[in-house]
Structure 1
Amino acid sequence: MKAVVFDLDNTLFDHTGSATTALRRWVAELGVPPSDELVAEWFVIEDRVYPRWLSGELTHQGQRRARLHEFLPLIGHPVPSAEDAQDEFFERYLRLYRASWTAYPDARRALEVARGNGWRIGVLTNGSTTQQNAKLAATGLAELVDVVCTSESLGVSKPDPLAYQRVCEALGCEPSDVLMIGDNLDLDVLAARAAGLAARHLDRAAGTVLTDLLRVQRARLLHLGPC
């Protein structure tokens, strides 16, 4: 094993927690009582609209506008008619989202363990280059990451095999020498394995800890010996 590649959102970076905090504050500013139901709908809309950007159907800004068109009627708020007004409106949410950015408590330690193992470290994320790099910088993780590959920078997104192969190339490693870790079983584990990487699933709902996954992998390699 020569390198480890992490997913970012909901693996190293707490997107769900950050977005939930931001959304609750945002709807309260709009005069609407925040609720678990509204938070759940926000993520349903995100999961439905965001892939339209990954597929090229919408621009990154366009998927934000589309989310407004679906969400604002749920809280009885009119959607601004002009696109620049929609962008300004969404920016009010983004400011709160950025203010809420946080890494998981085990994220930095996991990167330090990987470094201690002598592995190069990459991040592979289906996100925009500017925002994803900003998350790593804001949470203090950027200094521990060697390579950041986004769907925007690569021109392909997970689960396309090229996404995994290109992050391996950027790390200077063969896929067979790289471990992928992420929270999404389909994108971060099954598709990574299909592309030739080893992969482990981070199931935070089951209490899985990032550092434990790395230690298990390290112990397994030591047990196997040189190959």
Structure 2
Amino acid sequence: MIFDLDDTLFDHTTSASNAIRTWFPTLGVTFTDNLLTKWFEIERVNFDSWLAGRLTHQGQRRGRLVDFLPVIGQPVPATDAELDEIFAGYLDHYRQNWAAFDDARPALEVARSNGWRIGVLTNGSTLQQHAKLTAIGLAELVDIVSTSESLGFSKPAPEAYHLTCEALGVEPADTMMIGDNLELDVLAARRAGLTAHHLDRSAGITLALLIRRTGSAGR
């Protein structure tokens, strides 16, 4: 069984939102919901540029600040070192707010009790994604972690799913994937030959519900 990480097991949206609430005042900025929405929009554009190979991982962090600082009336620093220092402040707040979803650990425990090997497939940096799993207490329940950085492929490339299945020692046709992103975690996984379910929390879908649906396909 393969899980996505951010906003599937790890509550990235809440973690980042809480971080922004406490980080903004250190910049002399008053938090608003509109600014939070703008931050996430800029985050997505720059993160996608990293996945596409147009930016380095650190470059996409700098890019977020280059795009966002003018929005809040702040000058853009002239050097990368200054940008990195500002972003380090955000990262400190982000790490302090890392949290798993309440249903994440119970779902992984049920999967392991069923004898299923568990993988995580995430479009993220290897160091940070491993750190998240450790910090939220899930690392011990996961057999392998595949990142876009370690694989050399990002979702939705079929190689990302196939290489993760290979690392787990399972065939794609015998593997279930669960994630919050309909395109990356479900439709692309299905095109790669896996079974996949959409974790749509807004519709009341939970990990526990999806685990119950997996049956023998969850291996």
Establish whether residue 202 from structure 1 lines up as the match of residue 199 from structure 2.
yes
Cα distance in structure 2, aligned partners of 1:171 and 1:54: 23
Give a deviation string over 1:178-204, Cα, whole Å, max 9, x none.
Answer: 100000000000000000000000001
Cα distance in structure 2, aligned partners of 1:149 and 1:85: 32
The partner residue of 1:121 within 112, 118, 122 is 118
Counterpart of 1:225? none
Cα distance in structure 1, aligned partners of 2:214 and 2:141: 19
Letter in 1 for 2:83: Q
Q: Secondary structure at the match of 1:17?
A: helix
Cα distance in structure 2, aligned partners of 1:217 and 1:85: 48
Q: Segments of 4+ in structure 1 off by > 3 A?
A: none
Give a deviation string over 1:115-140, Cα, whole Å, max 9, x none.
Answer: 01110000000000000000000000
Letter in 1 for 2:201: R
Give a deviation string over 1:13-51, Cα, whole Å, max 9, x none.
Answer: 000000000111111111111010011001111111111
Cα distance in structure 2, aligned partners of 1:113 and 1:212: 11
Counterpart of 1:28? 25
Shift of 1:160: 0.1
Shift of 1:211: 1.0
Establish whether residue 108 from structure 1 lines up as the match of residue 77 from structure 2.
no
RMSD across aligned positions (CA): 0.9
Cα distance in structure 1, aligned partners of 2:214 and 2:79: 52
Q: Secondary structure at the match of 2:205?
A: coil
The partner residue of 1:179 within 149, 157, 176 is 176
The partner residue of 2:213 within 209, 213, 216 is 216
Counterpart of 2:147? 150
Counterpart of 1:71? 68
Establish whether residue 95 from structure 1 lines up as the match of residue 92 from structure 2.
yes
* Unaligned 5+ runs, structure 2: none
Q: Secondary structure at the match of 2:119?
A: strand
The partner residue of 2:40 within 43, 66, 73 is 43
Aligned residues: 217
Letter in 1 for 2:82: A
Shift of 1:143: 0.2
Cα distance in structure 1, aligned partners of 2:198 and 2:90: 31
* Unaligned 5+ runs, structure 1: 223-227
Shift of 1:78: 1.0
Give a deviation string over 1:41-68, Cα, whole Å, max 9, x none.
Answer: 0111111111110111100000001100
Shift of 1:95: 0.4
Give a deviation string over 1:134-158, Cα, whole Å, max 9, x none.
Answer: 0000000000000000000000000
Establish whether residue 159 from structure 1 lines up as the match of residue 122 from structure 2.
no
Normalised by the size of structure 2, how large is the TM-score?
0.97
Cα distance in structure 2, aligned partners of 1:156 and 1:10: 20
Cα distance in structure 1, aligned partners of 2:73 and 2:21: 16
Give a deviation string over 1:76-120, Cα, whole Å, max 9, x none.
Answer: 111111001111110000000000000000000010010011100
